[in-house]
Amino acid sequence: MSTNRKIALLSLGLSALELISIFHDAQTQVAIAYCLLFLALLGIFIYAAYRTSGPQFTTISIKKTLVIHDHNASSANMTREHKIRVNYGSIPEIWSRGICSDGTIDNFMVDGETVPKCDQIWSPGVVVDLRKRFSEAIFMDHETTVTWTYDLHDSFPERHEALDHDVIPGTRFVEMTVHLPTDRPCINASLHVLVGGESVSQLEDPEISEDRKLLKARVKSPKAGQTLRLSWDW
């Protein structure tokens, strides 16, 4: 709890206790004091239960930027900027999970530093989880941004391609951006919501720049467990 909130709650409690003085009967004063104490403890309990009932941190925003460097998409780079706020407790580390590609992935970095092998977990099917360890644990109401980057090779070989994002609990905003090579502009683009690998709805079409080389999609308050898919033909 922040210092300002603690001061506000203390002031409220003292103001409530001052009401006792208007009663002259000692037994009445004691009864009221116990009631106020009970209500204060109940309020603290409800507040603590509320703060700890959801995810430990809120994703204020996550911005994924894909840059494809050449016509055949043999070389590309992904940047994933993840801004979070801790809701309760402390967090010594954070993960970027489910990184996958049709091609190969390498050159993993977090906040500009190479990710050690001990902080990389590989799963069958070329799925990677990456860990960011904080130098010091971050606590409730603290905000921080972690930037993940990695290179993709031969990952977008088709005329119809897509960039996916799996929504985690507590996500407020997602932005996906795709930069296409100068000699291969976008023909059309769309944004869908997937559940279990199947499309369940189509959202507003992504923005396409005038030169058709930049795609951008923004989604507010997406639902956890869904996948956002930015697709394009080129």
Ordered strands of the 104-110 beta sheet? 113-114, 104-110, 143-153, 75-86, 57-68, 173-179, 214-220, 207-208
Ordered strands of the 127-139 beta sheet? 90-100, 127-139, 120-123
Distance from C-alpha of 156 to C-alpha of 213, rounded to nearest angstrom: 15
Give percent above pLDDT 90 in the chain: 73
pLDDT at position 20 over 90: no
Q: What is the pLDDT of residue 221?
A: 96
Contact residues for 183 (Cβ-Cβ < 8 A; gap 6+): 71
Query: Are 147 and 61 within 8 A, CB to CB?
Result: no
| pLDDT, tens digit, 9 for 90 and up, residues 118-145 | 999 988 777 999 999 999 999 999 999 9
Name the band, by pLDDT with cuts 50, 70 and 90, for residue 38: low
pLDDT at position 40 over 80: no
Average pLDDT, the chain: 87
| pLDDT, tens digit, 9 for 90 and up, residues 175-196 | 999 999 999 999 999 999 999 9
Does the reported pTM lie above 0.95?
Answer: no
DSSP notation for 61-80: EEEEEEEE-STT--EEEEEE
Per-residue pLDDT, averaged over 161-165, amounts to 97
- Please give the structure tokens belonging to residue 122: 């590989």
Name the band, by pLDDT with cuts 50, 70 and 90, for residue 13: low
Q: What is the pLDDT of residue 233?
A: 98
Q: What is the pLDDT of residue 72?
A: 93
Tell me the β-bridge partners of 174. 62, 219
pLDDT at position 46 over 80: no
Per-residue pLDDT, averaged over 74-91, amounts to 97
Strand extents, DSSP E, 111-158? 113-114, 120-123, 127-139, 143-153
| pLDDT, tens digit, 9 for 90 and up, residues 83-95 | 999 999 999 999 9
Q: Which fold has domain 57-233?
A: Immunoglobulin-like (2.60.40)
